[in-house]
Amino acid sequence: MQDQVLDEAKRQLAVCNACRYCEGFCSAFKAMTRYRAFDTETVIHMSNLCHNCQACYHSCQYTVPHEFELNLPSALANVRVESWESHVPFPVLSKLFQSSPLVSLVSVVVVSILFWLVAGIPWLAADTFYDLISHSVLVLIFGPLFLAPLLILFVGLGRYWKTVNGERITRQQLADAFRAAANLKNLDGGAGQGCNYEKDDRYSQSRRWAHQATMYGFLLCFASTSIATVMHYGFGLVAPYPLMSLPKLFGVTGGILLTLGTSKLIYLKTKANPLLEASSRRGSDYGFVTLLWFVSTSGLLLYWAGGTTIAGTLLILHLASIACLFVSIPFSKMVHGFFRITALIREAQLQRT
């Protein structure tokens, strides 16, 4: 990690710790009050607790032009993104994926072409899902695509756990952490008023809603795929499924939530102040959210386009985007969720001891 990034965060935290006016906003501040000085591990831990609600910027009496030049949301964001990169193996890939929004786009196109080559062009006449691409081909492609990134991710999380001196995890701690994630406690502003983002120093719940729509949408889609896999292998039930089946119910609701959530997130981001985020990641964040949006939107369109002539092309694009999403899990903005939940578990440990 870059020393300047860490030193800047430490400098600002020393000001905050002598002030503490923002204590009620979030768990990063609650964590802060346990320390008198901040070592690198503590700063990394706090940076992953911070949800970038930006309240501590707008409430701060020491922001520029004041000579203390406080901008804690950005200082912690800079540490945070570097902490992912420095813990996850193959930092080159993290750098690549987070360098530009175009990386996501280009990779979807490249993978689509690959799929195209693999699957040939017989789908024009297809009328069931697996007429287009055989299920075995799907599993063959997606199995490793899915498992390898997860492996890399967990190596990264393991290293992170070491850095923050994590201990054995109890059920209570997991419950604490997942509860905080489930309702995005750290974007509620402490008094339920929401966060600062798209409306300057006014609070709003928009980002929290949009994020949760995205998160739950994603989880529903994931559940849909998992259930479908079980139905396929466990019970020999082959897609397509009727509307009143679990995979479809989960898939459609999840898809809609994901599309709405990501659209809103993108819109909100255009209104937000770039100076309060990680300076180097704004572009790639757009790329990541757009990729998610495309995954869900193309999935929804597929339901609608089933049997039509564009179904094939759409399917290729949809699958390619999912592949890209999965491959990039450890290297893209997607890691934030995994590091955040890890940080919340660690914080639960620290708070309960």
Partner 1 sequence: MTPDLPEITPNKELIRVGEGVIDFDVVVVGGGNAALCAAIRAAETGASVALFERAPKDYRGGNSRHTRNFRCMHRDPKGVLTGSYDEDEFYDDLLKVTKGNTDEDLARLAIRESESCYDWMLGQGCFFQESLSGTLSLSRTNAFFLGGGKALVNAYYNRLEAQNVSIFYQATVLDVVIRDRRFDGVLVDLNGEQKYVRSRAIVLASGGFEADKDWLARAWGDAAKNFLIRGTPYNTGEVLKRVLETGADQIGDPTQCHAVAIDGRAPEYDGGIVTRVDCVPFSIVVNQAGHRFYDEGEDVWPKRYAIWGRLVAKQPGQVAYAIIDSKSKDLFMPTVFSATVTDSLDEMAVQLGLSRDQFLATVNEFNTGCGRGEFFPTELDGLETKGVQPAKTNWARPIDTPPFYGYELRPGVTFTYLGFRVGPDAKVSFGGLPSDNVWAAGEIMAGSILGEGYLAGFGMTIGTAFGRIAGKEAGAHARSSAG
Binding site for partner 1 (CB under 8 A): 14-15, 17-25, 33, 36-37, 55-56, 58-68, 189-191, 193, 201-202
Instruction: Report 174-213 residues binding ligand SF4 (CB under 6 A).
Output: 186
Please state the φ and ψ torsions of residue 200, each to the nearest 5 degrees. 60, -125
Which of 21-29, 86-94, 153-161, 324-332 is the region at the interface with ligand SF4 (rule: CB under 6 A)? 21-29
AA identity, residue 187: L
Q: Which is nearer to partner 1, 15 or 305 (CB)?
A: 15
Q: Which of 10, 30, 62, 246 forms a contact with ligand SF4 (CB under 6 A)?
A: 62
CB-CB contact of 345 with 174 (8 Å) = yes
- Chosen residue from 6, 9, 22, 311 binding ligand SF4 by CB under 6 A: 22
**Are the CB atoms for 53 and 268 separated by under 8 Å?**
no
Query: At its nearest, how many Å lie between ligand SF4 and the CB of residue 184?
Result: 11
The rounded distance, in Å, linking the Cα atoms of 61 and 174 is 36
Distance CA 334, CA 149 (A): 11
Contact between 142 and ligand SF4 by CB under 6 A: the answer reads no
C-alpha closest to that of 141 among 173, 165, 166, 116: 116
DSSP-assigned beta bridge partners for residue 196: 203
Which of partner 1, ligand SF4, none does residue 186 bind to, with CB < 5 to 8 Å depending on kind? ligand SF4
- Compare residues 9 and 88 and give the one whose CB is closer to ligand SF4: 9
Q: Shortest approach of partner 1 to residue 128 CB, angstroms?
A: 56
Residue 52 interacts with which of ligand SF4, partner 1, none, CB < 5 to 8 Å by class: ligand SF4
Determine the residue type at 260.
L
Residue 24's binding partner out of partner 1, ligand SF4, none, with CB under 5 to 8 Å set by partner kind: partner 1
Q: Which residues contact 79 (CB under 8 A, 6 or more apart)?
A: 1, 5, 6, 9, 43, 44, 47
β-partners of residue 195 are 204
Helix (H) or strand (E) holding 225: helix 206-235
Residues at the contact surface with ligand SF4, assessed by CB under 6 A: 15-16, 19-22, 25-26, 28-29, 50-56, 59-62, 70, 72-73, 76, 186
